[in-house]
Amino acid sequence: MDKLEILRGIVDEALESSEYPALRRDEYIHLYGVSQCCALLAGKRGLDRELARIAGMLHDIAVCRTGKPEDHAARGAEEARDILPILGLSEGEIAMVCQAIARHSDKKTVHDPFDEMLKDADILQRYLYSERDGVAVRRRKRVKRLLAELDLPY
């Protein structure tokens, strides 16, 4: 079984056992969608697609487990640090994924390319799922830049 399939099993189990069933559908859609958007952006930007997919699958794991969005990026990075060794990632790969997860909510600050890829994938998934949910307004500059990069209209 490959790393992503192992991780999907872990994430699916977390979602299925969640005490917050109202979040379950949205989190399935969001986590899987962000993982796919990460693969797309990583490929376009010359980043590691497997690590990108992994970061996308785990970026909101803390919300899945607790139902609480507060400080979920930092909490998610801590959870990811416990999960990622199971996949056989190197310490450098674990550090890179955890850093991106920890920073993904800080959309105002520009960080390194892998971090920015996760932030952009997070926004892209929400934008593609529902252009009317406020992402296009709150993150207008980032959405416009991202869509221009992908040669898509705003």
Q: Which residues contact 145 (CB under 8 A, 6 or more apart)?
A: none
Each residue of 81-104: pLDDT tens digit? Answer: 999 999 999 999 999 999 999 999
Indicate which CATH number applies to the domain containing 22. Answer: 1.10.3210.10
112 domain-assigned: yes
154 domain-assigned: no
What pTM was estimated for this model as a whole?
Answer: 0.93
Q: What are phi and psi of 47, to 5 degrees?
A: -105, 165
60 domain-assigned: yes
Residue 53, token pair as written in the block: 């997919």
Each residue of 104-145: pLDDT tens digit? Answer: 999 999 999 999 999 999 999 998 887 656 665 667 888 889
> Domain limits at 143?
3-149
72 domain-assigned: yes
Split into its structural domains, the chain has a count of 1
143 domain-assigned: yes
95 domain-assigned: yes
Q: Which residues contact 55 (CB under 8 A, 6 or more apart)?
A: 38, 97, 100, 101, 114, 118
